[in-house]
């Protein structure tokens, strides 16, 4: 069960970093993708519609949080 938690944290970090990179590099396209018929994610992207700078700022936070989460996994192994 211990490995399941570590794998879940690693997957979350990977998602955060990847999603953050897409939001940073292509904010309009990435927000538009999740804007309609996205299984409930529409309300998550609503604050970013028409605000690519806001999405980029959030992307930087996502990437930083993902990297911090991944770094915690390295420290936890030691």
Domain ranges of the chain: 2-77
- Span 28-54, average pLDDT: 92
Q: Choose between 1 and 11: higher pLDDT.
A: 11
Tell me what pLDDT residue 73 has.
Answer: 84
pLDDT confidence band for 2 (50 / 70 / 90): confident
Identify whether the C-beta of residue 68 lies closer than 8 Å to the C-beta of residue 16: no
- pLDDT (tens digit, 9 = 90+) per residue, 18-39? 999 999 999 999 999 998 888 8
pTM here is: 0.84
The dihedral through the CA atoms of 26, 29, 45, 38 has a sign that is negative
pLDDT-wise least confident of 5-14, 21-30, 54-63: 5-14
- What is the rounded CA–CA span in Å between residue 17 and residue 20? 5
């Amino acid at each position: 069960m211990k490995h399941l938690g570590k794998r879940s944290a690693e997957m979350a970090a990977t998602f955060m970093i990847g999603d953050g990179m897409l939001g940073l590099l292509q904010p309009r396209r990435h927000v538009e993708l999740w804007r309609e018929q996205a299984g409930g994610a529409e309300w998550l992207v609503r604050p970013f519609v028409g605000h690519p700078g806001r999405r980029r700022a959030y992307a930087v936070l996502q990437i930083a949080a993902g990297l911090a989460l991944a770094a915690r996994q390295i420290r936890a192994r030691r």
